[in-house]
Structure 1
Amino acid sequence: MLIDTHAHLDFPRFDNDRDKVILDAYRAGIKQVINVGADMKSSRNSVELAQEYNFIVASVGVHPHEAKSFTDQDYQELKNLASQNEVVAIGEMGLDYHYDNSPRQEQQEAFRKQLQLAQEVDLPVIIHSREAQEDTLKILKEEATNLEGVLHCFAYDLEVAREVIDLGFYVALGGVLTFGSAKDLRMVVPNLSLDRILIETDAPYLTPEPHRGERNEPKYVKEVAKKIAKLKNTNLEAVAKQTTKNAKKLFKLD
């Protein structure tokens, strides 16, 4: 059994066949899916989806792309949403210096506020960080000393991975690990302890090989686990067992 710790099943690309995608994931041995909010609308939708399907739990938060529109009212609404039993984390939040869809200062402010919120409501965090490792680590060291969480879609080097793990965080690996261009990332994985790794799809994005070019779905998280097993010279069962244990521990899943 596997747990997809990061998907966006509420997104419009699943509107025509969402029930089938969820059923296919269950039949493929996916024990649970964490549906992750990226803005206020998707955070609300994530909670509604989790209330509809026992198979799904939710995270609520505002992605750095949307940081410029994050208000005090949004903060309060996230806090209210976080009180729902189906919500297991705050996020995704963080920094994205690749696209800079929001000014960097506003990204940092929204990131800090959501880390503070997570401490208020005593939930772990899901962090998005792209081309922003220095500021991400700086802010985590300043604001997240009493938090647990995960750096989602990890794509940095071993030094960053070790700093993240030293903070008590996990690293989540997704479809990028299977890409031909991800040689540097594949060199990192053998040096990571399995007890600090989570697996994810980021569906509908970043579809792993051999399905690249298709829409990503939670059932494809098995391809990520298979690649980790190969890189760490172990078997799929060992990766499935440990990453599931890790996800249950971090997100307090049943």
Structure 2
Amino acid sequence: MLIDSHAHLDSSRYDDDREQMLQRAAEAGVGAVLSIGIGENPSEMHQALEICREFNGKAGMPRLYASAGIYPHNAAEADDAALAKLDSLLAEPEVIACGEIGLDYYHEGAAHPVQREGLIAQLKIAAPRKRPILIHCRPKDGVTDAWDDLFEVLDEHWASTGLGGVMHCFGGGWEQARRSLDLGFLISLAGNLTYPKAQPLRDVAARVPIYGVLVETDAPWLAPAALRGKRNEPAFVTQTAQTLAELHHLTSEEISLATTKNFARLFNLTV
């Protein structure tokens, strides 16, 4: 069984075939999906939970879990009402993670200090709820600015919790991977691992211990190389898993078992 550790199932791109898309995932051997609850803004972060409740228990479907969080671009909207909503969502049993949250210095968005304060505010909510965090970190090209600021925040406000989390759609170098692992984070690899120009990322992925990896789609974005340009969906996580298996000289079954075990350990689940 494979687990897609990060998919935006509430995307409007699935509105016409969400149930069929989930059935295809199950048929491909995907046993669970973590549905990311950020929406287009904080007013929509409940939608991932609603999707879980709509489809869990239906035959022929993967098990769905949810997260909730305020995306870096929306950090300016992390007011008292949004943070209270986040806290209430993290109290729900299906909502197993806070995220995706973090820092994004690549795109035009909230000012860097605003992103930092929004991240810290969410860490202070996730910690007492005992929820691991899902981190989005994207620096400017060729630098490590967002990573440097992220680790400063995590060292001060998160490391002591021991809750760890996931470095979603990891795109850093070995130093960032090593520091993430030291903080108790798992390194999650997405479809871009399969891209022809992604050899530096594959080199890092090959060095990450097998106990420290997850696979994801980030659907509906980042379809693997063979399907690049198409809408991504959880069934396609098998292709990323196959690439990761080859990097670690493992079979598909072995990488499925390892990544499922890692997911269950982090989120204290029986899967």
Which category describes the TM-score, using the shorter chain as reference length? Answer: over 0.9
Deviations 1:145-174 (A, max 9, x none): 113101100000011100000011111000
Q: For 2:200 and 2:150, how far apart are their aligned partners in 1?
A: 20
* 2:64 equivalent in structure 1: 56
Task: Mark the runs of 5 or more structure 1 residues left unpaired by the alignment.
Answer: none
Task: Mark the runs of 5 or more structure 2 residues left unpaired by the alignment.
Answer: 57-62, 140-145
Deviation at 1:180, TM superposition (A): 1.4
Superposed, 1:47-196 pairs within 5 Å as: 47-54=49-56, 55-131=63-139, 132-145=146-159, 146=161, 147-196=163-212
* 2:11 equivalent in structure 1: 11
- How many residue pairs align between the two structures? 254
Deviations 1:6-43 (A, max 9, x none): 00011111111111101110111101000011232442
TM-score by length of 1: 0.98
Contact in 1 for aligned 2:102/2:119 (Cα 8 Å): yes
TM-score by length of 2: 0.92
Q: Quick one: percent identity of the two aligned structures?
A: 39
Q: Cα RMSD over matched residues?
A: 1.0
Q: For 2:248 and 2:218, how far apart are their aligned partners in 1?
A: 22
Pair 1:213 & 2:217 matched: no
Deviation at 1:235, TM superposition (A): 1.2
Contact in 1 for aligned 2:103/2:150 (Cα 8 Å): yes
SS at match of 2:46: helix
Q: For 1:66 and 1:253, how far apart are their aligned partners in 2?
A: 30
Deviation at 1:248, TM superposition (A): 1.0
* 1:253 equivalent in structure 2: 269
Equivalent of 1:227 in 231, 243, 267: 243
Equivalent of 2:48 in 38, 46, 49: 46
Contact in 2 for aligned 1:64/1:93 (Cα 8 Å): yes
SS at match of 1:75: helix
Pair 1:2 & 2:41 matched: no
Q: For 2:85 and 2:209, how far apart are their aligned partners in 1?
A: 37
Letter in 1 for 2:14: F
Q: For 1:154 and 1:116, how far apart are their aligned partners in 2?
A: 24
